[in-house]
Amino acid sequence: MLERHGLAPSRALGQNFLVDPNTVHRIVRLAGVTAGEPVIEIGAGLGALTLALAETGAEVTAIEIDRYLVPVLREQAEPRGVTVLQGDAMDLDWADVLAAHPRWSLVANLPYNIATPLVCDLLDEVPRIDKMLVMVQREVGERLAAVPGDSAYGIPSLKVAYWATARVVGRVPPTVFLPQPKVESTLVRIDRRAEPAVAADAQVLFGLVRQAFGQRRKMLRRSLVDVVAPDAFEQAAIRPEARPEELDIEAWGRLADVVSRA
């Protein structure tokens, strides 16, 4: 198809097209997409996953940034009832794109260079997307689903934990892509909570998280010395000698509550 249209994958856009039918159908199965369900796909490319989603009877909207690929995608997908939109997922008016339904699922093979900020931004700003099945670079997937004590645990892990639950549900080898990337991929399932995991002020909480993880080798009493009073750790039932990767979202919530009341 690329040859027929005189196209090639773009390194600048992080394009690695999914070309293995078994993997495509595995993604759709793990996403649990059903007939009539509103589904958004980001980075639809040549439409392999798009068509598999449409086969379920889902109401699919496919987003693609590459203006050269969009005509090809429309040729493939629009006859199957798919809505194809050209645009940058990092800069879309999501309220407009998702206006037709109160709840959407996201199923996507995300470009490696935008996966983490995009997932975090959607959790922060787009509550209509209430579940996601995303294919991302293995290290990114492990970071999104990490829990305290994992080497990958960090700010994205806490962002996801605040808004949702997440788990790695599969691994994907480089051989299913064109061109083949030099990294492995993972499939991550993210389900939005009905309410955030903690009631603490999000701005205060993530301000503490960013400051602490910016000096993650330091004990909290040192990295947060200018924003957290010494007795606040005891009030929040947190060891001041702990390091940021030891605290789960509930502990960060307790600390944020104490700081907010100070």
CA distance 146 to 245: 10
Under 8 Å CB-to-CB from 249, ≥6 apart: which residues? 158, 161, 162, 197, 198
Are residue 7 and residue 120 in the same domain, yes or no?
A: yes
Cα distance between residue 117 and residue 139, in whole Å: 14
pLDDT at 102: 98
Domains of the chain: total: 2
Task: Note down the domain range covering 105.
Answer: 2-192
Same domain, 186 and 206: no
The CATH number of residue 69's host domain is 3.40.50.150
Does residue 94 share a domain with residue 72? yes
Which residue's structure tokens are 């040192």?
222
Q: What is the pLDDT of residues 193-240, one digit of tens each?
A: 999 999 999 999 999 999 999 998 999 999 999 999 999 999 999 999
CA distance 146 to 22: 27
Helices and strands in the chain, H and E counts: 12, 9
Of 192, 214, 237, the one marking the end of a domain is 192
Q: Are residues 175 and 209 in the same domain?
A: no
Per-residue pLDDT of 130-171, as tens digits, reads 999 999 999 999 999 999 989 999 999 999 999 999 999 999
Contact present, 201 and 256 (Cβ < 8 Å): yes
Residue-wise pLDDT for 89-126, tens only, equals: 999 999 999 999 999 999 999 988 899 999 999 999 99
Q: Do 158 and 218 fall into the same domain?
A: no
What pTM does this model have?
A: 0.93
pLDDT for the residue 112: 82
Residue 252 covered by a domain: yes
Task: Please name the residue ranges forming H helices in the chain.
Answer: 2-5, 21-31, 48-55, 70-77, 94-97, 115-125, 138-145, 155-163, 202-213, 220-223, 230-235, 249-261
Domain boundary among 134, 163, 192: 192
Residues 159 and 186 in one domain: yes
Q: Is residue 26 part of a domain?
A: yes
Instruction: For residue 220, give the CATH number of its domain.
Output: 1.10.8.100
Please give the pLDDT value at position 10: 82
The pLDDT of residue 135: 96
The rounded mean pLDDT for the chain is 95
Q: Which of 143, 159, 192 is the last residue of a domain?
A: 192
Q: Is 137 within the bounds of a domain?
A: yes
In terms of domains, do 227 and 167 share one? no
Residues 92 and 214 in one domain: no
- The reply to whether 197 falls in a domain is no
What is the C-alpha to C-alpha distance for residues 93 and 95, in angstroms, rounded to an integer?
6
Residue 181 shares a structural domain with residue 253: no
Helices (H), 56-154: 70-77, 94-97, 115-125, 138-145
Which is higher by pLDDT, 147 or 10? 147
pLDDT tens per residue, range 38-88: 999 999 999 999 999 999 999 999 999 999 999 999 999 999 999 999 999
Q: Quick one: pLDDT band at residue 179, thresholds 50, 70, 90? A: confident
pLDDT at 54: 98
CB atoms < 10 A from the CB of 236, how many? 19
Contact assessment for residue 197 and residue 249, using Cβ atoms and an 8 Å cutoff: yes
Residues 60 and 179 in one domain: yes
The answer to whether residue 93 sits within a structural domain is yes
Q: Are residues 216 and 176 in the same domain?
A: no
Residue with tokens 């083949």: 180
Instruction: Indicate the burial class of 25 (C-beta count within 10 angstroms; 0-12, 13-18, 19 or more).
Output: middle
Phi, psi at 174, each rounded to 5°: -65, -20
54 within 8 A of 77, measured Cβ to Cβ: yes
* Distance (Å) of CA 201 to CA 183, 256, 257: 37, 7, 7
Task: Say whether both 100 and 227 belong to one domain.
Answer: no
Q: How far is CA 13 from the centre of its chain?
A: 18
CA angle 11, 13, 16 (to 5 degrees): 65
Q: What is the C-alpha separation between 184 and 165, in angstroms, rounded?
A: 23
**pLDDT given for residue 134 in this prediction:** 98
Within a domain: 207: yes
